[in-house]
Amino acid sequence: MRFLPTLERKFRRWKKLKKPPLLRKLDILFKSTHKGQIQEDNAKRAQRDFGKDNKNELSYRTRQQFMSNGTFHEAVGSVLLTAQWFAMMPLRGVTAKHPSSLRFSWRYVRTCCCLLFIASMLINLSLTIYKVLNGSITFNNIRPLIFKSCIFLVCGKALSLARQWPDLMMKWYEIEQDLPQYQTQYEKRRMAQTIKMVMLVGMMLSFAEHLLSIISAINYASFCNRTDDPIRNFFEMTNDEIFYVLNYSTPLALWGKIQNVYSTFIWNYMDIMVMIVSIGLASKFRQLNDNLLKFKGLHMAAAYWSERRIQYRNICTLCGTMDNAISFITMISFSNNLYFICVQLLRSLNTMPSVAHSVYFYFSLFFLIGRTLAVSLYAASVHDESRRPLRYLRCVPKDSWCPDTMRFAEEITSDMVALSGMKFFNLTRKLVLSVSL
Amino acid sequence: MRFLPTLERKFRRWKKLKKPPLLRKLDILFKSTHKGQIQEDNAKRAQRDFGKDNKNELSYRTRQQFMSNGTFHEAVGSVLLTAQWFAMMPLRGVTAKHPSSLRFSWRYVRTCCCLLFIASMLINLSLTIYKVLNGSITFNNIRPLIFKSCIFLVCGKALSLARQWPDLMMKWYEIEQDLPQYQTQYEKRRMAQTIKMVMLVGMMLSFAEHLLSIISAINYASFCNRTDDPIRNFFEMTNDEIFYVLNYSTPLALWGKIQNVYSTFIWNYMDIMVMIVSIGLASKFRQLNDNLLKFKGLHMAAAYWSERRIQYRNICTLCGTMDNAISFITMISFSNNLYFICVQLLRSLNTMPSVAHSVYFYFSLFFLIGRTLAVSLYAASVHDESRRPLRYLRCVPKDSWCPDTMRFAEEITSDMVALSGMKFFNLTRKLVLSVSL
Amino acid sequence: MRFLPTLERKFRRWKKLKKPPLLRKLDILFKSTHKGQIQEDNAKRAQRDFGKDNKNELSYRTRQQFMSNGTFHEAVGSVLLTAQWFAMMPLRGVTAKHPSSLRFSWRYVRTCCCLLFIASMLINLSLTIYKVLNGSITFNNIRPLIFKSCIFLVCGKALSLARQWPDLMMKWYEIEQDLPQYQTQYEKRRMAQTIKMVMLVGMMLSFAEHLLSIISAINYASFCNRTDDPIRNFFEMTNDEIFYVLNYSTPLALWGKIQNVYSTFIWNYMDIMVMIVSIGLASKFRQLNDNLLKFKGLHMAAAYWSERRIQYRNICTLCGTMDNAISFITMISFSNNLYFICVQLLRSLNTMPSVAHSVYFYFSLFFLIGRTLAVSLYAASVHDESRRPLRYLRCVPKDSWCPDTMRFAEEITSDMVALSGMKFFNLTRKLVLSVSL
Amino acid sequence: MRFLPTLERKFRRWKKLKKPPLLRKLDILFKSTHKGQIQEDNAKRAQRDFGKDNKNELSYRTRQQFMSNGTFHEAVGSVLLTAQWFAMMPLRGVTAKHPSSLRFSWRYVRTCCCLLFIASMLINLSLTIYKVLNGSITFNNIRPLIFKSCIFLVCGKALSLARQWPDLMMKWYEIEQDLPQYQTQYEKRRMAQTIKMVMLVGMMLSFAEHLLSIISAINYASFCNRTDDPIRNFFEMTNDEIFYVLNYSTPLALWGKIQNVYSTFIWNYMDIMVMIVSIGLASKFRQLNDNLLKFKGLHMAAAYWSERRIQYRNICTLCGTMDNAISFITMISFSNNLYFICVQLLRSLNTMPSVAHSVYFYFSLFFLIGRTLAVSLYAASVHDESRRPLRYLRCVPKDSWCPDTMRFAEEITSDMVALSGMKFFNLTRKLVLSVSL
């Protein structure tokens, strides 16, 4: 079946076992409360009592901070914070509890940093174009050009996305509040944990790949040393587009290196961005599905179905809005990954100059393929989850079948809810096959 | 998202700012009128008053001429007029206010010019066939043959389209009158402006490309001068199919050149034709959608939905009729563009004899790709707009959901409304991907 | 648009003008009758009067024979009769008025002839296999093997089809009788005329191609004459698989030649078979559509729609039954045509030994492509016609919309009615594109 | 049409004629009973009488054992038993009457054998990886690596499938009991017979192929004899990955050979597994379809349709559950078959060293293609059968058409019920074409 979610689930189960005692206590307490007193009045009282009981352990404020409300805004906070260190998504209030604290302004220091990086990127891109046009144009030679143009485009788009972000998060928040809520801390934290895990794994692998690329470059530089200085050799090789035009100087070399590191981060970040939005959307659908599953096959009132249908519609609208916002990044990410896989496969026919190169090359190839597959599968999960309510609608008993259920079923059947690459292609599991053919 | 419409919108917003003060005044006046007095009686009075108020500024007749009624016939008038200078669409009354003034006759001078051009085209085509058959037949060598056959076929089809045009425009007009009308001059003029912009940009780029082709040909002719006369060299090269059979003479050279210019125009015009019809159809769907958007989520009577459904059906029928009329041109335009992109990509492997050639070649390649993409995207917008009412139907409140809305939703879901290439393929955004793969 | 049907229509209009005066008289008389007296009683009287009026001109029996009842069995009679001369479809009663006269028996002389031919074919096939296995196996060399295996398989399948034919025709007849009937002789004869035209054109072109192949073979044989006898040279070349094993003798040569002629006929006949069944099915759908068109947009009773739905269902079932019966032939016909187009395109790279060869080669190539396209388009027309009632259902007025119309619309939307190649692919217009890509 | 089912039917009809007299007697008796007394009371009495009548012939217990209840568990028993001899599906109670006797435990001897084999497989795989990495990596050279990895993965998956099997069979059993039951022993045994036939034919062909491979290997070994011992030559060649690292010794050679035989069995068994599950699911759909066919076009109560819909839904759920359980095996089986067909087609360009090789090669190629086709067609039959109820729903008379039938029809129309390769592709007849293109 689906590896990634399965892996996640296993990982989560293992984490569950070793989750901090406090959290487990909160959950167990809640569950027992929930079981004993189903009536709402009682539940409220339980909440109050539960507040009282824990008072001695930790103050109300600390607990409030500690407890998650399970919103996407909250889950994505640290991811955006990391991005800001790499000149992307310049926003204030990303780690705030409520999305209304999000602010974008051209006057913030982080926005200026971001613009500065884009300007520096533009200079680097011009140098690259100059070098490429002076050589012969082949599928392989335009690689740095394609790489840097993509980074440049994504940076620009990320800036415009940052401007939209506060509105998007407010919309998301409103829709989230309207959905049937999870009861336990564990369920509320699930999405945030998945997002953090994806970010962490993605960044670590990307870091490993960058280290390997440096090692193989040093290795190569020591072979064909144009000058006596090994550090200079290394920089002249990795930033050949700069020293093709300008003379060597240490500040330029450092600038090139920083540019390089940032580019590598952004190159990975655009894939992570798509994955994270996908995880967010899929988990909202799952939240609805979990509620439907709970009442599967039972005799529910028409109002229940009508309400669920409206909630489903809201998530679909949200999905469309997010798709509009990030589909350009999705497009760039996909075409970029496909181009690089093709280039790498072509290069696999060449002989490797050293073991370091060989290790770097295969690691890089498998990392690329894995990343592309991960993006595809996470993005496809939005579509898969959006189709799931159909399964529960099929089990609605005969006498609960009403115009509302019929309308709900018809809408799911006929709508195509999925992230897309600028509407040119929808990200579903079928796409993976048709691309690989 | 969609570049072209986005570009348009930006362009339009910029134009709005600097739209002539009179127009702005008319609109503002109308809006304020509309806001203050919603009742129909009052609106009528406002119209009368509004007529009075402006009387001192411009006479009634001038205003009438100046005001647009937002019909496709009116919007497309100047485009057809331009085409008539290039021996296409020989019709009288293209710039008239009402489509009933459109006339086609075999006895008009413009029809005769058109037939004359077709005959001249046929002679040129025969000369080309003769030259091609006497050489070796390769994918690249049959280029002029394909080019000229397409021009010839399109000319013939355009003539038969001209015969149908008065009927088509009458049908279009009737359906247009039945649609919910826009209130402001700005909204009424939108379609006409888009059409004019597309025509203008298309023609200008085509003109630029033709100039570049002449420059590169002159450049090339000066290199390999077979005779002493540089003008003769140029003509012998650009019209080699004529002078392969006949001896050189200035009238023949001029005939060839005119033929050449006309062919280039028609080659571009067939793409523009498809784009313009697409814009027209899409804007009719948008007119309906804008009305649906206005009442989105409100409790509307069944009669409202029933009426909208019939209007939607009418536009679909119109779409089918127009598709039947132009799908041959669409087919030729598409296959021609694809063939030329392939040929150009193959030729990009050759080395360019000069900088002029190189500039011409890349400009021509990007122009071709851009034009093909523009045709695809504009044509796909018809399909996209036709699916849009579904979005508003999804938000119909529970108690307004009636058999009419259900029927409307089902029809949109199950029908495929799009322009097509002789029904072999539908022009949607998905096609772009499957063709580029 | 659709060339072939358009061509047909033009051809028919031209024929209409010159249709025999008697026929025209019958039709005009009928039409005037129909106009004047709509009531059924009157219509009956008109029929009687009309019988009386014409009595003096031609006897009742002659008129009966002359008048068509518009059944498929009647239309296909002469086509089957022709096939019987080439050892296919051995049935009695193919030209009878009523399909109940159709008989198949293993003891009929024509069945024995057919079996004899199949046996002879088998021997020839074995000789071909022997020759192919003794040479090198390439894509081009196995051409005669593929050709003869296909002929052999189709012969066998045609025999089994002949056994089913009487039942199929009875089923077809019953469904036909239940459909809304055409009123004029002209409309009743339309299908039969189309079928005959297709048969005639197909056979004539096939004959022309065979003649050209003989001419080019004679031409070639005279070049590389292994023996002194030019006739022997010719036969040794065209039947090389026989004389690879056996010594030359005139009876063998004649046997080979006859085999050759028959094979060519059957090779064409399998395509014609598919076309004819397609025409038959499409015209049955059209018969229903014409009735629906007549009442388009009118307020019809639920019973009307219910009846039409059942009739539509019957034709669909018939379509499925016929598809089961001929889908093997369709499959063979399609794959065979595609294989031969590929082989011919590959051979087009070789230089032609003579002008005769060149003419034969290009004629044969275009004939093949044209035939394949014709089969595809006629087969696709079944699907196109089956979707047409949807167009009329969309125009049903609001107050005539009932569960029956809804059910009818849903069935058309969700069912895929088309001929298929053993269910592996459906024959629609979209297939043409996906195959040509 | 569909060869395989047709072949099966013919084979079955032939078997029916020669079915043991006792079975025939039971069936005839039952049929006559069924005809005469339709009322349930009478049917019960008939059952009792029927029990009495036969008492003299065979004891009640023997008859019980002899009679089939037509469950999948029963049908698949012997197939699983065979698999256990080849270290797969280690379960107790596979031949028991009731699936509740199925047990899986890590402590059973067969589970240990299975784990032992997996461990041994892992060692062999490591040796193979070592040998491949030390040579050049080409499409053809990695063949043993791909082969052994697939076997290893399938073995692991089969073990995890064995753990799920008891639950799966219980679910299956419950759904089976709820379906409309067949009346005759013949119909009940049909599925089991098909499954056994597929197993038998598959195993026999696989055995024949293995024999041919041994013969051709012996043949080849005698040519290029590295040592004097012919047996050693043979083993060194067939297990080159072992003797690339280790020195030759008879126990190692035997281990390699056994490994080889087991691998070949498992390689075939994974295809057979997919086929058998497909047959099982398709036959359950057929059981439902047969009941629907019986009442086709009759006026049935809404409750009848409601019940059938729920039964249909149950089989769909079962289909989904089984797909989840085996889709990994399906995926491996499909990609593996495609890879090997490609490799074999590439190798067909090489010249064969001997006739034995040539025979082995062509047998192996056709066996592979045939097996792949058989898997595809059997798997596609699940989808085909799942669509069949639509045909009967189309014939529901007007006054029996109720919300239940509508819901049933809509569900069949919009759901995609098919086995899949990890949801990346659905196994339908259309897939065969798109893969072969």
Q: Which residues of D touch A432 (CB under 8 A)?
A: 424
Query: For residue B300, what is the DSSP state?
Result: -
- Is residue B281 within 8 Å of B315, Cβ to Cβ? yes
Q: Which residues of D touch C422 (CB under 8 A)?
A: 1-2
CB-based contact C423 D432, cutoff 8 Å: no
CB-based contact D422 A1, cutoff 8 Å: yes
CB-based contact C306 D398, cutoff 8 Å: yes
CB-based contact B406 A411, cutoff 8 Å: no
Q: Which residues of C touch B422 (CB under 8 A)?
A: 1-2
Rounded to the nearest integer, the mean pLDDT of chain D is 85
CB-based contact A407 B410, cutoff 8 Å: no
Nearest-CB residue to A401 (from D313, D407, D424): D407
Return the axis-axis angle of helices A109-133 and A250-294, rounded to nearest 10°.
110
CB-based contact B395 A423, cutoff 8 Å: no
DSSP characters over D312-366: HHHHHHHHHHHHHHHHHHHHHHHHHHHHHHHHHHHHTTSPPSSHHHHHHHHHHHH
Verify B-A touch: 3 or more CB pairs within 8 A: yes
Verify B-D touch: 3 or more CB pairs within 8 A: no
Per-residue pLDDT of chain B (437 residues; tens, 9 = 90+): 445 555 666 655 665 555 555 555 555 555 555 554 444 554 454 455 444 444 444 555 566 666 778 899 999 999 999 999 888 889 999 988 899 999 999 999 999 999 999 999 999 999 998 888 777 777 777 888 999 999 999 999 999 999 999 999 999 999 999 999 988 888 899 999 999 999 999 999 999 999 999 888 888 777 766 677 878 888 888 888 888 888 888 899 999 999 999 999 999 999 999 999 999 999 999 999 999 999 999 999 999 999 999 999 999 999 999 999 999 999 999 999 999 998 888 887 777 677 778 888 889 999 999 999 999 999 999 999 999 999 999 999 999 999 999 999 999 999 999 999 999 999 999 888 887 77
Q: To the nearest whole angstrom, how far is the Cα of A19 from the nearest Cα of chain B?
A: 43
Query: For residue A398, what is the DSSP state?
Result: G
Report if residue C35 sits inside a domain. Answer: no
Q: Which residues of A touch D417 (CB under 8 A)?
A: none
CB-based contact B432 A411, cutoff 8 Å: no
Nearest to B326 by CA among B154, B173, B175, B194: B154
Q: To the nearest whole angstrom, how far is the Cα of C324 from the nearest Cα of chain D?
A: 6
Q: Taking the CB of residue A61, how many other CB atoms lie within 10 A of it? A: 8
Which residues does C200 contact at the CB level (< 8 Å), separation at least 6?
Answer: none
Report if residue D54 sits inside a domain. Answer: no
CB-based contact C398 B404, cutoff 8 Å: yes
Report if residue A49 sits inside a domain. Answer: no
Which residues does C379 contact at the CB level (< 8 Å), separation at least 6?
Answer: C274, C275, C278, C330, C418, C419, C427
Query: For residue A295, what is the DSSP state?
Result: T
Nearest-CB residue to B1 (from A327, A404, A425): A327
Return the axis-axis angle of helices D302-347 and D250-294, rounded to nearest 10°.
150
Q: To the nearest whole angstrom, how far is the Cα of B374 from the nearest Cα of chain A?
A: 14
Counting other chains too, the contacts that B391-398 makes at CB distance below 8 Å and 24 or more residues apart are: B392/B289, B392/B292, B392/B293, B392/B296, B394/A313, B394/A316, B394/A411, B394/A415, B395/A313, B395/B296, B395/B297, B396/B297, B396/B300, B396/B305, B397/B297, B397/B298, B397/B299, B398/A306, B398/A404
ipTM over 0.90: no
- Is residue A175 within 8 Å of A56, Cβ to Cβ? no
CB-based contact A424 B432, cutoff 8 Å: yes
Report if residue B189 sits inside a domain. Answer: yes
Q: How far is CA B64 from CA B24, B61, B74, B92, C130, in A?
A: 16, 5, 13, 22, 87
Q: How far is CA B74 from CA A254, B60, B191, in A?
A: 62, 19, 10
Nearest-CB residue to D394 (from C306, C411, C424): C411
Longest dimension (CA), chain C: 86
Q: Which of D398, D410, D434, D436 to mutate to test the interface with C (most CBs of C within 10 A)?
A: D398
How many Cβ pairs closer than 8 A exist between chain B and C? 32
Nearest-CB residue to C1 (from B324, B404, B414): B324
Q: Which residues of B touch A328 (CB under 8 A)?
A: 1
Report if residue C99 sits inside a domain. Answer: yes
The enclosing H or E element of C6 equals helix C3-17
Report if residue C36 sits inside a domain. Answer: no
Nearest-CB residue to B401 (from A328, A407, A415): A407
Opening angle at CA A267, ends A263 and A270, nearest 5: 130
How many Cβ pairs closer than 8 A exist between chain C and D? 32
Q: To the nearest whole angstrom, how far is the Cα of B139 from the nearest Cα of chain C?
A: 12
Domain total for chain B? Answer: 1
Q: Which residues of D touch A384 (CB under 8 A)?
A: 423
Report if residue D48 sits inside a domain. Answer: no
Q: Which residues of C touch B319 (CB under 8 A)?
A: none
The conformational region for residue B399 under phi > 0 = left, psi -120 to 50 = alpha, else beta, is: alpha
Please give the Cα distance from A253 to A308 (Å, whole number). 58
Q: Which residues of A touch D414 (CB under 8 A)?
A: 390, 409, 413
Counting other chains too, the contacts that C280-283 makes at CB distance below 8 Å and 24 or more residues apart are: C280/C72, C280/C75, C280/C76, C280/C172, C280/C191, C280/C195, C281/C315, C281/C318, C281/C319, C281/C322, C281/C382, C281/C419, C282/C378, C282/C381, C282/C382, C282/C384, C282/C385, C283/C72, C283/C190, C283/C191, C283/C194
Q: How far is CA A37 from CA B307, B363, D400, in A?
A: 53, 75, 48
Q: To the nearest whole angstrom, how far is the Cα of D111 from the nearest Cα of chain C?
A: 42
Partners of B426 in the beta sheet?
B420
Opening angle at CA C324, ends C321 and C326, nearest 5: 110
Query: For residue C173, what is the DSSP state?
Result: H
**pLDDT at position B46:** 46
Reply yes or no on whether the pLDDT at D281 is more than 80: yes
- Is residue B420 within 8 Å of B330, Cβ to Cβ? yes
Interface of A with B (CB under 8 A): 306, 313, 316, 324, 327-328, 403-404, 407, 410-411, 414-415, 422-425
Report the pLDDT averaged over residues D377-393: 95
How many Cα atoms occupy the beta-carbon half-sphere of B436 within 13 Å? 13
Nearest to C289 by CA among C380, C172, C387: C387
Report if residue B333 sits inside a domain. Answer: yes
- Is residue C372 within 8 Å of C338, Cβ to Cβ? yes
Per-residue pLDDT of chain A (437 residues; tens, 9 = 90+): 445 555 666 655 665 555 555 555 555 555 555 544 444 554 454 455 444 444 444 555 566 666 778 899 999 999 999 999 888 889 999 988 899 999 999 999 999 999 999 999 999 999 998 888 777 777 777 888 999 999 999 999 999 999 999 999 999 999 999 999 988 888 888 999 999 999 999 999 999 999 999 888 888 777 766 677 878 888 888 888 888 888 888 899 999 999 999 999 999 999 999 999 999 999 999 999 999 999 999 999 999 999 999 999 999 999 999 999 999 999 999 999 999 998 888 887 777 677 778 888 889 999 999 999 999 999 999 999 999 999 999 999 999 999 999 999 999 999 999 999 999 999 999 888 887 76
Q: To the nearest whole angstrom, how far is the Cα of B421 from the nearest Cα of chain C?
A: 9
| Residue C232: domain span | 68-436
Nearest-CB residue to C313 (from D394, D430, D433): D394
Q: To the nearest whole angstrom, how far is the Cα of C422 from the nearest Cα of chain D?
A: 5
Please give the Cα distance from A200 to A82 (Å, whole number). 11
What does the block give as tokens for D88? 């797969």
Which residues does A167 contact at the CB level (< 8 Å), separation at least 6?
Answer: none
